[in-house]
Structure 1
Amino acid sequence: YNGRLDGAKVRELAGAFFEPRRILEAFVCGPGDDGGQAKAALQALGMPAERIHVEHFAVAGEAVAESDSPAAERAPRAGMAEVGVTLDGRRRSFPMALDADTVLDAAERAGIELPFSCRSGVCSTCRTKVVRGKVRMEHNYALEAWELEQGYVLACQSRCLTPQLELDYDER
């Protein structure tokens, strides 16, 4: 098979080669929304959502939908924020402009090293939990729905929306 693994292709392959209800885990990786379409098709064919893992990647310049995380709400673009970060049992803080740079970029500018790898919302190396405050994530191709519901975000994609923000990298 050549091409993208969209919902139609998943249904076609399932009809010919496998029964989704009998698969223990499914791992899908692809650009744009291909993974989301494949996941939806597998679910429609009877595979439970919690057994389907999707990893997305974005091509440079590709538009990606904003996160629907409860922690990703909009706020005014004025003023400054104080960000506190707990990493490896150590708390550090730094200032950043509200809804401007990402938390990762602001931390680096302040001389604070935070975990990261891809900088595009794909790998989840920069995953952290919002303990206080709110952020808006630009892209999210790494976190599952349950992680978003529990307040986890990607620092490389998160812009601070509140004057106080507390992040905890140690809480897993």
Structure 2
Amino acid sequence: MSTFYSLKVSAVSALTPSSVAITLDIPNDLKKDFTFDAGQHLTLKQTINGQEIRRAYSISSAPSDAKMTVGIKKVEGGAFSVWANEAIKAGDSIEVMPPKGHFVFRPTTTPQQIVAFAAGSGITPIMSIAGSVLESHPENTFVLVYGNQSPEETMYHREILDLSNKYTDRFFVQFMYSRAREEDALFGRIDGATVNLILKNKFKDRSFDHFYLCGPEDMINTVKETLQKNDIAKDKVHFELFTTSQEEEVSQAEGQTTMEVTLDDEVFTFVMDKKKLVLDAVLNENIDAPYSCQGGVCSTCIARVKEGKAEMVKNQILTDGEIEEGFILTCQAHPLTPTLKIDYDDV
């Protein structure tokens, strides 16, 4: 079930001329529900101009922080992001779903060397991950490569500099700007040459344990391909898209599928057209399934296939191992078989 809780906004602060940080108070009786791993996201729900809108935003605060913060960049024509930047204020309340997401860092008892490549608002989960990495072990190190148009448009710029000053021997940042030339910053966008600069030059003597990538699809694909050429194992590379291509693919499957959906220990059965997306059909039956972006970006709508087969028209989130285990993004999946049984609880 899409369980939302009303949380009070304790602060709204400007990060750049086009982005804000929204801090939420978590009541004591909800602390357990809102416990999270660094890198996870929240789904926020708001009625704007009479329409319910849900959006997923990554948590930028570390799990150890007393309050929970998300960073929201204004998107031209974006109903929710514009409202969040222009209308919301401290003291308001907003409906929030507990944290979800697989793009996470989990501390270990042994030291870890982490590197992250982020662009634009892709920095938000990376801030949480960086904080967790640096706090969780005194020998952990974190390298951040962060691309933006200019320093003025760099979300969490001051906070990143604070980390650099606090962890002088363990936190290293390389800023990149595509529209400004600044001392100690690279000019341009994150590309294969940038990745090689980090791996083969600046940190050539370091063996990184994990790579975290977050931002636009083109940037992520470029970094992934370069890491692969440098013989970095796939299981060391974690990524989350903040924007993706909008091309829609239509299923070629014909006919009807009998759906069986398990959600909150209840079982629902209905018939759907194979050309429809599973999530759309589920919501049309007034089943309160979890979802947010509906674009295959956030993973909120993940479910496990228990019987039958489904095909995703787009997948940039689930790993090969997760797909083998039967997981699907229901917002991207079409049924292929006469019967399809999915379970939202078994994830």
TM-score range, shorter chain: 0.7 to 0.9
Percent identity over paired residues: 36
| 3-state SS of paired residue (2:226) | helix
* Alignment match, 1:63: 247
**Bigger shift: 32-41 or 17-26?**
17-26
Query: Which fold has the larger relative contact order, with Cα–Cα distance below 8 Å and residues 6 or more apart in sequence?
Result: 1
Distance between the aligned counterparts of 2:301 and 2:205, measured in 1? 32
Q: Which moved more, 1:7-16 or 1:105-114?
A: 7-16
Larger-gyration structure (1/2): 2
- Provide the secondary structure at the position in 2 that maps to 1:113: coil
Structure 2 residue aligned with 1:89: 265
* Residue 76 (str. 1) matches residue 253 (str. 2): yes
**Aligned residues: CA RMSD:** 2.5
CA drift at 1:63:
3.1
Q: Who is 1:71 aligned against?
A: none
User: Which structure 1 segments of 5+ residues have no match?
Assistant: 67-73
Which residue number corresponds to residue 43 of structure 1?
Answer: 228
SS in 1 for 2:298: coil
Displacement, 1:20?
A: 8.8
Aligned equivalents of 1:29 and 1:20: distance in 2? 24
Give the number of equivalent residue pairs: 162
Relative to the length of structure 1, the TM-score reads 0.81
2:214 equivalent in structure 1: 29
Deviates more, 1:16-25 or 1:45-54: 16-25
Are 2:198 and 2:204, in contact at CA under 8 Å, matched by a contact in 1? no
What CA deviation, in whole Å up to 9, does each residue of 1:53-72 have, x standing for no partner? 0112435x633899xxxxxx
Between Structure 1 and Structure 2, which shows a larger proportion of strand residues? Answer: 2
Aligned AA (1:93): T
CA distance in 1 between partners of 2:278 and 2:301 (Å)? 10
**Which of 157-166 and 16-25 deviates more?**
16-25
Calculate the TM-score normalised by the size of structure 2: 0.42
Residue 257 of structure 2 contacts residue 339 of structure 2 at CA under 8 Å; is this kept in 1? yes
Cα offset for 1:164? 0.4
After superposition, give the CA deviation of every residue in 1:28-86 in whole Å (9 maximum; x if it has no partner): 02323432331232233243221210112435x633899xxxxxxx7632x21111111
Give CA deviations for 1:138-169 in whole Å, capped at 9, x if unaligned: 21121111111222110011111211000012
* One-letter identity of the residue aligned with 2:212: F
Deviates more, 1:25-34 or 1:132-141: 25-34
Deviation at 1:136, TM superposition (A): 1.8
SS in 1 for 2:299: coil
* Unmatched 5+ stretches in structure 2: 1-175, 178-187
